[in-house]
Amino acid sequence: MTPRRIQKKDEAAPGRAVRVLGAGDSRAVSPTWGELMRDLADSIESMEQLATVWRVMVLDRDPQADVRDLPGIAVRWADCRFAFWNCVTLTEPGTTAGLLKQRLNEVAEIMRSKKCPGFLWVFEDLLDDEARAGLGDAAERAGLVHAFPGTGMAGNLLPLPEPAHPDLTFVRVTTDEQLRAFADINSRAYGFPLEDGRDGLGRSSIWKSQVHAYLGVRADGTPVTCAATVEADGRLFVLLVATDPAWERRGYGEAVTRKALYEGGRATGLTRATLHATAAGAPVYPRIGFEANSPMHFFALAEA
């Protein structure tokens, strides 16, 4: 299932580039493992934040969910109607073309075993040059189709000033009704049926307490935008930012994201934040202080 509203930095990381030793000397030097890790630190952080946060979210949705850390693969699969809670990601830095082929076949088999559709998340910078160049073809051969792109982002940006927007009042999600409104805004924004979003969030035991989830509400009482932050390994992770399509291009998404960051930072004292942006949302976050690190790709199973 592909969100129909999502449309189909960065130079190459230094650890992947050919490095010249001196004038007239064009010998390529492979980076050491330590150099590779330093070069990819932000991309590894982005992948690990996904694995950490999705573990919590998926087990919140279903304590018996498929949450496993396999060699090179993290499975975070609630097998629910909300496709974002059905997730697999690749975890090995420096993945070669041969290893990528093996991992994609393994992922496809995992995804085929599930009742509900979901996504494979691939952090491009964790692949070596050859694997990155052949990702599309390798995915196709494994029975996967590219769904949409994304970007990992992070920043040492907190604390932020308390946000305000002339059209909005910010309301923290603490009731079932407010959580349903949060789910419905996401469903409308990403093109899911309303029941899909409600299936993902409606049973939650943490979204009304541990997650700093906020609605932006207009003067007539209509919730039109939403965002959330949650603490993860010493960072605030931003998730499920969405604006009702009828109310886009008014600065609502940025305002409610700033509110979720402000309140999350105030509650936790954290200063670093991370997120995964869609193509539609990516231009907003640098205005808040985020910097892009790793290009991302989302893959779904090809239809039989």
Q: What is the rounded CA–CA span in Å between residue 192 and residue 32? A: 45
In a domain, 224, yes or no: yes
Compute the distance between CA of residue 41 and CA of residue 263 in angstroms, rounded to an integer.
27
Range of the domain at 73: 33-151
Q: Are strands 212-217 and 223-232 parallel, antiparallel or unpaired?
A: antiparallel
Q: 42 with 152: CB under 8 angstroms?
A: yes
Claim to verify: residue 146 and residue 201 sit in the same structural domain = no
| pLDDT tens digit sequence for 169-183 | 999 999 999 999 999
- Identify whether residues 111 and 195 lie together within a single domain: no
pLDDT of 224 > 70? The answer is yes
Q: Find the mean pLDDT for residues 219-226.
A: 98
Contact between 165 and 216 (Cβ < 8 Å): yes
Residue 63 lies in a domain: yes
First to last CA, the chain: 13
Residues 6+ apart with CB under 8 A from 247: 218, 224, 225
> Do 145 and 50 share a structural domain?
yes
Quick one: average pLDDT of 55-75?
Answer: 98
Q: Which of 118, 151, 184 is the last residue of a domain?
A: 151
Token pair of 95 as six digits: 């993945």
How far is Cα of residue 234 from the mean position of the Cα atoms in its chain?
Answer: 17
pLDDT at site 203: 86
Are 53 and 117 contained in the same domain? yes
Interval 135-168: pLDDT, tens? 999 999 999 999 999 999 999 999 999 999 999 9
Answer yes or no: is pLDDT of 205 > 50: yes
Percent of the chain topping pLDDT 70: 87
Average pLDDT rounded to a whole number, residues 189-204: 95
Domain assignment present for 85: yes
Q: Is 18 exposed, middle or buried (0-12, 13-18, 19+ CB in 10 A)?
A: exposed
Residues 147 and 68 in one domain: yes
**How far apart, in whole angstroms, are the C-alpha atoms of residue 125 and residue 128?**
7
> Same structural domain for residues 77 and 140?
yes
Q: Determine which helix (DSSP H) or strand (DSSP E) holds 229, and give its type and residue range.
A: strand 223-232
* In a shared domain, residues 147 and 174: no
The answer to whether residue 280 sits within a structural domain is no
Q: What is the pLDDT of residues 243-288, one digit of tens each?
A: 999 999 999 999 999 999 999 999 999 999 999 999 888 999 999 9
* Contact call for residues 95 and 129 (beta carbons, < 8 A): no
Q: Which of 168, 190, 123, 186 is nearest to 259 (CA)?
A: 168
**How many CB atoms neighbour CB 253 within 10 A?**
24
Residue pair 36/15 in contact (Cβ under 8 Å)? The answer is yes
d(CA 210, CA 60): 11
Can you tell me the mean pLDDT for 180-205?
Answer: 96
Specify whether 138 is located in the same domain as 175.
no
pLDDT band at 54 (very low <50, low <70, confident <90, very high): very high
Same domain, 54 and 134: yes
Name every residue whose Cβ is closer than 8 Å to that of residue 250 and which is 6 or more positions away in sequence: 167
Judge if 39 and 133 occupy the same domain.
Answer: yes
The verdict on 87 and 112 lying in the same domain is yes
Domain assignment present for 219: yes
H or E segment and range at residue 298: strand 291-301
Residue 138 domain-assigned (yes or no): yes
Query: What's the CATH number where 175 sits?
Result: 3.40.630.30
Domain contains 23: no
Is the pLDDT at 121 greater than 90, yes or no? yes
How does pLDDT run across 293-304, given as a tens digit for each residue?
989 999 999 986
The number of folded domains in the chain is: 2
pLDDT number for residue 304: 66
Rounded CA separation 122/134 (Å): 13
| Burial of residue 286, with CB atoms counted within 10 A of its CB: 0-12 exposed, 13-18 middle, 19 or more buried | middle
Strand-pairing partners, residue 214, are 172, 227
* Residue 239 is assigned to a structural domain of this protein: yes
Please say whether the dihedral angle defined by the alpha carbons of residues 246, 247, 249 and 253, taken in this order, is positive or negative: negative
Residues 122, 191 within the same domain: no
pLDDT (tens digit per residue) in 80-96: 999 999 999 999 999 99
